[in-house]
Structure 1
Amino acid sequence: MSRVAAAASTFPSPTTLRELIMSSGAELAGNEFAGGDDVEAQPPVRRVSFVLTFTNLTYTVEARARWKDVIRRQKNRSGSTVILDDISGEARDGEILAVMGASGSGKSTLIDALAAAAAGSSIRLNGERLESRLKKAISAYVMQDDLLFPMLTVEETLRFAAELRLPRSLAAGKKKLRVEALIDQLGLRKAARTLIGDEGHRGVSGGERRRVSIGADIIHDPILLFLDEPTSGLDSTSAFMVVKVLQRIAMTGSIIVMSIHQPSHRIIKLLDRMIFLSRGKVVYGGTPANLPAFFADFGRPIPDGENWADFALDLIKELEDYPEGTKTLIQLNKSWQPLKGDFEVQPQLSLTEAIAATIIRGKLFSDAAAIAGAVAAASMVPKFANPFWIELSVLSKRSFTNFRRNPKLLTFRLAAITATGIILATVFHKLDKSPKGIRERLGFFAFAMSATFYTCADALPIFLQERYIFMRETAYNAYRRSSYVLAISFVFLPLLIILAAVFAVVTFWSLGLGGSFFFYFLIILASYWAGNSFVTFLSGVVPEVILGYIIVVTLLGCSLLFSGFFINGDRIPKFWIGLHYISLIKYPYEAVLKNEFQDSGECFVRGVQIFDGTPLAAAPEALKIEVLGRMGISGLNITAVTCVSDGEEILRRQAVSGLSKWGCLWVTVGWGFFFRILFYVWLAAGKRR
């Protein structure tokens, strides 16, 4: 806090943070306790601390060129599409601004634009532009979909959100109190210990789920709250309860801006301001109370008993079917703006003073000193609420809790690995040291190493399911991307160790393998690590599970083909040799071969065994010995017990050379880190995209 204060002093500012907070607190106290006849004689005026204004907001999308036009070298005639056209309005603290319109009218785009509020845009808070870091610290955006971990309870979901969004400087007891207060504010006390649930697990109701989504994003008690259709998919009662909760949040001093589709009459009574859109243009902007007079002035009064919002949307849709469209309605709305007096109230405090006063009232659970003192130097606002190691701890604990409560992921995978190991152990039981035993060992090693990679494909849906949760949380700097990448790595590591240990124990002694059991376990673990990292990276790239599985099967099939099992590396054509060296299966395959055959001191082909696999294999033993004796005439002294092929000879025939077995192990481990780094780079690039 001292470093922040010191840095803030280098920027021009009318008052210090201490003076702002003291003066704001004194002013608030004076207004609250001031008495006298003069004060009582004046009509009560609600104090407005924050006003969000947007003026002439326009958003245009450039149409992409069609492939036919590209082939014909023609320009794309479709040009650009205007999504939002010259939209203006305002929202105040303590009020709810609802954006309405038919599908495709631009209401979700308007919410997105206001939530982005990029510096330099026409969006202002108390007349001042919002720098990106400050905006993320004092605002929240609730997406239309409920993006939650299904195996966490309501209380755990909010508690993990508090540990990520609230600063380390805030005591654990205060964080707990904030969670408890939010549960009561959202009306979730009875469901606090209920799982969120999903299609396969029963959990909270749809309305409760939506309120939990809102709570996870407002845990830091933001000043600005944007919501994209928070009542979508809910019944009338649940939708009313959600908006009622939003009204209570607004009364704490927040600005609520949301899009909503066909609200009920009860919900309309809870709204303070409304904007109706038609094809990106404002056809009405004002209070719900003025809506009947507006349409009466237009010549289409709202019938008695008719839902005002339904009437307005139906009329707008009807006008859109005419050539002139809603031009007349748009012009009437512009003529109404100076008359209805909705924009007369102005904030009585600057943005700096308003934030300081807000913190005095106990709102905005964040680094108060840094935020309130950084409006003049917005770059000083901390980008993240907590240090890296706290994020890593919380994310790891959350992922592990969600993973632990879904035992199917562990049980089914462990059962699959155990069953695979048992089948291999019985099929290749007690391999002998003969030419047939050599071929069987090579086949087992190739299958086993490829199986470790293929069985990692079940991790593909995990990040795909968490993708939008990750995007929502990192969009407002809840945590670092590096923290997330390391957290999911740590969560999977114990599972990989268990799987590798089970497979190694089941197969090593049953097959009669040689070499070091510890190294055999390590190379299987390294293969699981590389495979899991590879699949994790793909899950961040591909848009859906089916496509991901296709890519995994294709790439791992190529890796197995060029691993050196089907064709030796020295016989692969030069124009394909690059795929041999980047094969994921090559290095673990060669590692287990070297562990089995290198420096083993074992003989795998003796005397007459050299005829195995030849037409003489079925000949009598005496004939084979006679042939060996005749071979001795030419200088080859081979008897029935002479060692013809040892482990080193097998490695030479398989063209396995170069790296040691430990070198192959480290390359396999390196593949895992390589794909984790690629995963992080892709996530970081996704932020810029």
Structure 2
Amino acid sequence: MHLTMELQSNPISSHLAIDVVSPFANETQSPRVGINRPPMFVLSFADITYKVHQTKNQSFSPFSKSNKENSTQRTRVRTLLDSVSGEAREGEIFAVLGASGSGKSTLIDALANRILRESLKGSITLNGDNLESRLLKVLSAYVMQDDLLYPMLTVKETLMYATEFSLPRSVPKEKKKNRVEELIKQLGLEAAANAIIGDEGHRGVSGGERRRVSIGINIVHDPILLFLDEPTSGLDSTSAFMVVEVLKEIARRGSIVILSIHQPSYRILNLLDRLLFLSRGQTVFYGPPSSLSMFFSEFGKPIPDNENPVEFALDQILEYEETQDGATELVEFNKIWQRQHQDLFSLYGGDISHIPLDQALASSFASGRLVSGSNDTNSMSMASVRKFTNPFWIEMGVLVKRAFTSTCRMPEMFMIRLGAILITGIMFATIFWKLDNSPRGAQERVGFFSLAISSIYYGSVDGLPVFIQERYIYLRETANNSYRKSSFVLSNAIVSFLPLIILSIGFALTTFFAIGLDGGMRGFFFYTAIILASFWAANSYVTFSSAIVSNITTGVTIAMAILCFYLLFSGFFVNRDRIPDYWLWFHYMSLAKYPYQAVMQSEFSDPNICFVRGTQMFNNTPIQRFSESTKLEVLASISKSLHLNLTNTTCTHY
């Protein structure tokens, strides 16, 4: 029976509808997993198969002008997982091993519901019940291979913000702080609690401590299922052992820990409870580490006494993979061996599937486990488990505070950008100093506006690496439903607005009065507003660019190329009437068009300002090369012919 039906029929499932039940256990409380009782939770997966279709174009004539006439499409089905089965229990560490490309990460993703269930064949159950996607997100956590953290936040702050996202607002602030202190002690981070995470330019915590922080931000809600993709990669042996030791303690407290790992040391091997070796998506061994020697002995290749069993097993698998049949012989032997040694997989003796999931959850919550909560504390349906833990305004407050704290701890970035803007403004001021109202002055005003808008947009592209770094954090947190996407976008806009105001005022002050732009104080404020709008549009454009590209070099190249087109079609280089109809859409899409037209309208709309007087009307015409006296005679002749009183001071063009 599906979990949805059971929750509706069983009153004990009302425990799912609470915000938090006894959220914080005493630090001296003993682990939840008892020695003499069967595990409360068991994640079982049977015959997991995952195939992807790859399409290739095959061309029979590389010199042909028409690929369509001389090419065919070949679809190849690639099997990433092939009938993989196993069982992970509460209190244990279940480790998936294998060479690169064996399917380790794919299996972890499949179990963690990060692959569409429609694409998978087989069954994945918790205590015999199929897990709904929304409930699985509440009960589980997924730790990525990369440590995606804000570098300028301290360890304690990073865990505190994760707690704010994961626990509902009904939990008092003091209890959230207690949870963070408990996590710091559990993760062995007491000495680094007040140190920043750090990055290439800022000294911070070690790699092992960083990895434990990554684990900590995912277990603040005390998940029943914890999935980790290569948690020891990139760490030295001591740091790797400390990380797995922390995971073992998490398992002892009542969680199912499932991880992928590459060549664990002897010490780490002793902390693992179940091993699953994969080769090209197929199972070549499944069982406890102690049975690995028995497996290969019965296979006919005993493990030497002085060799690491895991390294020996991986070497054997690699040798078989290099042959034509691959590891088929090991796969088939494993199936026979599994049937012959069923006793190895009955750790507590007997079937534990009779423990209903709703009862197991109720008992676990009562013992001090956390849950994200529901909208209706009296509801007993799956709909009562809400998608997001906190309301929109709570998310906004936490995100704004975190972004503001992180930004304030990197003042050098803002100061460099402010310095660049001020220097650019001063250069413009000296080049276009005190422009007059002559035709040349009008032309130079137009040139200045174009350069000013261009410099604002091009200068904003340098923020792309920061946005791309935050993008990965955003993807991780929104995948866990930590907050709404709209909350992140709006909070970033709010935090970036104040620095943009300062940049806009600085640029306006250094250029408006020095260049002699029109409009007085009213014109100055309008000019400043246009500069601010341009900065904000550029900031939004860079944010958008970081969302569609994942590589900094590629992102900068694409962003700069599109900016070139924005400027080309803005109306400065090519008049709108000269743009072909099939490119007009780009003219209206151009971010540079609107601020450019706004400053032009502001500067040249005053009818009291004259840019052409008297003989200046002959500039850029053949008459320009004549002497001033000749020009006056021509002007007088025109005046007589048109019956007008035209003198050298008469305004002939506004």
Q: TM-score, normalised by structure 1?
A: 0.85
Looking at structure 2, the residues matched to 233 and 327 of structure 1 have their Cα atoms a distance apart, in angstroms, of 31
Please name the residue that 2:422 is paired with.
418
Give the 3 Å change call, closer, same or farther, for CA 15–542 of structure 1 in structure 2.
closer
1:399-431 superposed Cα distances (whole Å, 9 cap, x missing partner): 222222222321111111111100000000000
Looking at structure 2, the residues matched to 352 and 301 of structure 1 have their Cα atoms a distance apart, in angstroms, of 45
The one-letter code sitting in structure 1 at the alignment partner of 2:358 is: T
The one-letter code sitting in structure 2 at the alignment partner of 1:599 is: D
The one-letter code sitting in structure 1 at the alignment partner of 2:38 is: R
Please name the residue that 2:431 is paired with.
427
- The answer to whether the 8 Å contact 1:160/1:398 transfers is yes
Please name the residue that 1:652 is paired with.
none
Are 2:596 and 1:589 aligned? yes
Looking at structure 2, the residues matched to 566 and 477 of structure 1 have their Cα atoms a distance apart, in angstroms, of 47
Offset at residue 626 of structure 1 (A): 2.7
Looking at structure 2, the residues matched to 211 and 544 of structure 1 have their Cα atoms a distance apart, in angstroms, of 27
1:417-464 superposed Cα distances (whole Å, 9 cap, x missing partner): 111100000000000111111111111111112222222212222221
Are 2:485 and 1:481 aligned? yes
Offset at residue 150 of structure 1 (A): 1.1
Please name the residue that 1:363 is paired with.
369
Please name the residue that 2:38 is paired with.
47
Please name the residue that 1:643 is paired with.
651
Are 2:48 and 1:57 aligned? yes
Out of 89, 92, 115, the residue aligned to residue 92 of structure 1 is: 89
**Higher percent of residues as helix:** 1
Offset at residue 382 of structure 1 (A): 0.7
Please name the residue that 1:12 is paired with.
9
Please name the residue that 1:198 is paired with.
199
Instruction: Give the SS at the match of 1:603.
Output: coil
Alignment of 1:456-475 (within 5 A): 456-475=460-479
Please name the residue that 2:57 is paired with.
66
Out of 337, 340, 346, the residue aligned to residue 352 of structure 2 is: 346
Offset at residue 467 of structure 1 (A): 2.1
Alignment of 1:189-268 (within 5 A): 189-268=190-269
Looking at structure 1, the residues matched to 9 and 599 of structure 2 have their Cα atoms a distance apart, in angstroms, of 67
Give the 3 Å change call, closer, same or farther, for CA 532–18 of structure 1 in structure 2.
closer
Offset at residue 14 of structure 1 (A): 5.2
Are 2:518 and 1:514 aligned? yes
- The answer to whether the 8 Å contact 1:119/1:131 transfers is no
Alignment of 1:505-584 (within 5 A): 505-515=509-519, 516-584=523-591
- The answer to whether the 8 Å contact 1:500/1:525 transfers is yes
1:125-167 superposed Cα distances (whole Å, 9 cap, x missing partner): 0000110110000100111111111111111111111111111
The one-letter code sitting in structure 2 at the alignment partner of 1:127 is: G
Instruction: Give the SS at the match of 1:170.
Output: coil
Are 2:108 and 1:111 aligned? yes
Which sections of structure 2, spanning at least 5 residues, go unmatched?
Answer: 23-28, 61-66
Q: TM-score, normalised by structure 2?
A: 0.89
Are 2:634 and 1:630 aligned? no
The one-letter code sitting in structure 2 at the alignment partner of 1:350 is: P
1:525-567 superposed Cα distances (whole Å, 9 cap, x missing partner): 1111222212211221123222222332222222222222233
Give the 3 Å change call, closer, same or farther, for CA 251–73 of structure 1 in structure 2.
farther
Taking CA–CA contacts closer than 8 Å with sequence separation of 6 or more, which of the two structures ends up with the larger relative contact order?
2
Give the 3 Å change call, closer, same or farther, for CA 493–600 of structure 1 in structure 2.
farther
Out of 99, 102, 123, the residue aligned to residue 102 of structure 1 is: 99
- Of the structure 1 ranges 425-434 and 111-120, higher mean CA displacement relative to structure 2 is found in 111-120
Please name the residue that 2:64 is paired with.
none
Question: Considering only aligned residues, what root-mean-square deviation do their CA atoms show, in Å?
Answer: 2.7
Looking at structure 1, the residues matched to 69 and 558 of structure 2 have their Cα atoms a distance apart, in angstroms, of 33
Looking at structure 1, the residues matched to 448 and 183 of structure 2 have their Cα atoms a distance apart, in angstroms, of 57
Alignment of 1:592-603 (within 5 A): 592-603=599-610
1:311-331 superposed Cα distances (whole Å, 9 cap, x missing partner): 111112222233444333223
1:336-386 superposed Cα distances (whole Å, 9 cap, x missing partner): 334242144515631111111111111125328979x87x63232110011
Report how many residues are paired.
620
Give the 3 Å change call, closer, same or farther, for CA 571–175 of structure 1 in structure 2.
same
1:34-57 superposed Cα distances (whole Å, 9 cap, x missing partner): xxxxxxxxx962331100000011
Looking at structure 2, the residues matched to 348 and 152 of structure 1 have their Cα atoms a distance apart, in angstroms, of 46
Give the 3 Å change call, closer, same or farther, for CA 534–412 of structure 1 in structure 2.
same
Give the 3 Å change call, closer, same or farther, for CA 104–504 of structure 1 in structure 2.
same
- Of the structure 1 ranges 118-127 and 290-299, higher mean CA displacement relative to structure 2 is found in 118-127
Give the 3 Å change call, closer, same or farther, for CA 322–589 of structure 1 in structure 2.
closer
The one-letter code sitting in structure 2 at the alignment partner of 1:425 is: A
Looking at structure 2, the residues matched to 89 and 18 of structure 1 have their Cα atoms a distance apart, in angstroms, of 29
Looking at structure 2, the residues matched to 460 and 518 of structure 1 have their Cα atoms a distance apart, in angstroms, of 29
Looking at structure 2, the residues matched to 370 and 66 of structure 1 have their Cα atoms a distance apart, in angstroms, of 54
- The answer to whether the 8 Å contact 1:388/1:480 transfers is yes
The one-letter code sitting in structure 1 at the alignment partner of 2:479 is: A
- The answer to whether the 8 Å contact 2:17/2:374 transfers is no
- The answer to whether the 8 Å contact 1:230/1:242 transfers is yes
- Of the structure 1 ranges 297-306 and 501-510, higher mean CA displacement relative to structure 2 is found in 297-306
Looking at structure 1, the residues matched to 581 and 83 of structure 2 have their Cα atoms a distance apart, in angstroms, of 62
Instruction: Give the SS at the match of 1:65.
Output: strand
1:258-299 superposed Cα distances (whole Å, 9 cap, x missing partner): 010000011111111111111111111111111112211112
Looking at structure 2, the residues matched to 44 and 491 of structure 1 have their Cα atoms a distance apart, in angstroms, of 51
Give the 3 Å change call, closer, same or farther, for CA 277–576 of structure 1 in structure 2.
closer
The one-letter code sitting in structure 2 at the alignment partner of 1:51 is: V
The one-letter code sitting in structure 2 at the alignment partner of 1:262 is: Q
- The answer to whether the 8 Å contact 2:16/2:385 transfers is no
- Of the structure 1 ranges 294-303 and 415-424, higher mean CA displacement relative to structure 2 is found in 294-303
- Of the structure 1 ranges 463-472 and 7-16, higher mean CA displacement relative to structure 2 is found in 7-16
Give the 3 Å change call, closer, same or farther, for CA 627–537 of structure 1 in structure 2.
same
The one-letter code sitting in structure 2 at the alignment partner of 1:249 is: I
1:634-670 superposed Cα distances (whole Å, 9 cap, x missing partner): 1242101111112xxxxxxxxxxxxxxxxxxxxxxxx
1:583-611 superposed Cα distances (whole Å, 9 cap, x missing partner): 32222112111111213511222112223
Looking at structure 2, the residues matched to 370 and 138 of structure 1 have their Cα atoms a distance apart, in angstroms, of 18
Looking at structure 2, the residues matched to 348 and 9 of structure 1 have their Cα atoms a distance apart, in angstroms, of 14
- Of the structure 1 ranges 148-157 and 616-625, higher mean CA displacement relative to structure 2 is found in 616-625
Are 2:503 and 1:499 aligned? yes
Are 2:317 and 1:313 aligned? no
- Of the structure 1 ranges 297-306 and 506-515, higher mean CA displacement relative to structure 2 is found in 297-306
What percent of counterpart residues are identical? 53
Alignment of 1:126-141 (within 5 A): 126-141=127-142
- The answer to whether the 8 Å contact 2:375/2:384 transfers is no
- The answer to whether the 8 Å contact 1:607/1:642 transfers is yes
Give the 3 Å change call, closer, same or farther, for CA 522–345 of structure 1 in structure 2.
same
Instruction: Give the SS at the match of 1:230.
Output: coil
Looking at structure 2, the residues matched to 288 and 369 of structure 1 have their Cα atoms a distance apart, in angstroms, of 44
Give the 3 Å change call, closer, same or farther, for CA 297–398 of structure 1 in structure 2.
same
- Of the structure 1 ranges 182-191 and 296-305, higher mean CA displacement relative to structure 2 is found in 296-305
Looking at structure 1, the residues matched to 265 and 401 of structure 2 have their Cα atoms a distance apart, in angstroms, of 41
Looking at structure 1, the residues matched to 562 and 100 of structure 2 have their Cα atoms a distance apart, in angstroms, of 42
